[in-house]
Amino acid sequence: MDDLPIEKIAISGPTLASLIQRFSTSPGPIDGLLYGHVSLLTPSTLSDDTSSSSSSLPSTSTSLPPISSSSQTLIATITSFLSLSAGHVNPLLLPPPPPSSSLLGWFSARRRSPLRPSLREFSLSHSLSSLPSLSFPILSSRSTLSPCIFLLLSSPIHDQTIHTHEYRAYQFRSSLLSFDPKSIEVINIGPAFRSHYGAFSPNSPFPSLPCDHSSSMAVDDEKEEEERLRAEQTQLDDCAEGFQVGRLSKLMGNEAANYSAGLEDLYGKMLVKIETLARQVEQSSALVFEQENHNRKLKYKAARFTGSE
């Protein structure tokens, strides 16, 4: 179980938002466990120089190399969490991690307190990192790592008009008995984060959807069903504006990188459509409000006319 330094910590935007929402809706401070994986990133040695092509070719050996801190980088990616009441994180009674995930560490969320680890958090982090049974393998490497990630969340000490939350990530170094602050990268979909999805592959294939037709179905019903499906397909294709739904299957696997730009362009067009629809709804709402005012004036006049008689 090596005490290896982690370069940075990554977490998806929805996971971080869910964690903050769980903290903001809790009646008091909470603790919890962090799950995910630690990956090893090796810088590319390929070169366009033909003179050095023979020396820059990667090795064909299938054995995993040991980690060298000078040439390789460790990135911890948080994919999920489990929230518990404050003080209920017991290193000896931990639930099993989710499938394809490892226990990276834990988090503590407390209100109106300084954003620095306490003695209790130091003790618990030291206990988690010192248990050999909790060590997990590093992806693409023969080395292992112990649960050493600690995420601290806090709300401002003084009352503020805007409700905000602060957070800071640490790596607990067992060899130094100290917290090492680490930068947090919030992963979102876009060109700047394409490297996080370049090696994506589904854990399990999508199940085949049953499309069986009953043998007793009449011919007319079959034609109506085909026409309905054809109409729905046409509507979906029109919404996609040239990016047919059938091409979405190519966004998975080895061809995902070739169609990423097309998906981003489709996303931009969808935002334009949503903005147009929002303006139409705003205009129609204004017309409805104007008509309601006009009807109200007519009712008022009618009531005055009836009262004068």
Residue 239 pLDDT exceeds 60: yes
Q: What is the pTM of this model?
A: 0.55
pLDDT tier for residue 253 given thresholds of 50, 70 and 90: low
What's the pLDDT tens digit per position in 40-51?
876 555 555 555
12 occurs within a structural domain: yes
Check whether residue 177 and residue 240 sit in a common domain. Answer: no
Kindly state whether residues 182 and 237 are assigned to the same domain: no
- Higher confidence at residue 25 or residue 158? 25
Cβ pair 138, 38 in contact under 8 A: yes
User: Are 288 and 142 in the same domain?
Assistant: no
User: Do 173 and 289 fall into the same domain?
Assistant: no
Residue 24 pLDDT grade (very low, low, confident, very high; cuts 50, 70, 90): confident
Residue 309 has pLDDT above 80, yes or no: no
Q: Quote the domain boundaries for residue 253.
A: 225-309
198-213 pLDDT per residue, tens: 545 555 555 666 655 5
Average pLDDT over residues 102-125: 92
CA 185: distance to chain centroid? 11
Structurally, how many domains does the chain consist of? 2
Instruction: Count Cβ neighbours within 10 Å for each residue of 81-91 and write b for 16 or more, e otherwise.
Output: bbbbeeeebeb
- Check residues 48 and 296 and name the one with the higher pLDDT: 296
Task: Give the per-residue pLDDT at 58.
Answer: 45
Q: pLDDT by residue (tens digit) across 81-107? A: 999 888 889 888 888 888 889 999 999
pLDDT at site 219: 59
Q: Does 2 map to a domain?
A: no
Do 182 and 37 share a structural domain? yes
CA separation for the pair 24, 85 (Å, rounded): 14
Q: Is 29 found in the same domain as 156?
A: yes
CATH number at residue 97: 3.40.140.10
Instruction: Give the pLDDT band (50/70/90) at residue 55.
Output: very low
* CA quadruple 115, 132, 177, 41: dihedral sign: negative
CB 64 within 8 A of CB 92: no
Question: Is it the case that residue 304 has pLDDT exceeding 90?
Answer: no
Q: What separation, in Å, do the N-terminal and C-terminal C-alpha atoms of the chain show?
A: 96
**Pairwise CA distance, residues 6 & 69, whole Å:** 9
Please give the Cα distance from 29 to 85 (Å, whole number).
7
Residue 27 has pLDDT above 80, yes or no: yes
Q: Are residues 183 and 233 in the same domain?
A: no
Q: What pLDDT, on a 0 to 100 scale, did the predictor assign at position 307?
A: 65
> Tell me, what's the pLDDT at 168?
93
| Average of per-residue pLDDT values in the chain | 77
Structure confidence at residue 244 (pLDDT): 58
- The string of pLDDT tens digits covering residues 164-188 is 778 999 999 988 889 999 999 888 7
More confident residue, 186 or 239: 186
User: In this structure, are 180 and 260 located in the same domain?
Assistant: no
- Res. 192: pLDDT tops 70: no
Of the two residues 139 and 253, the one the predictor is more confident about is 139
Residues 182 and 249 in one domain: no
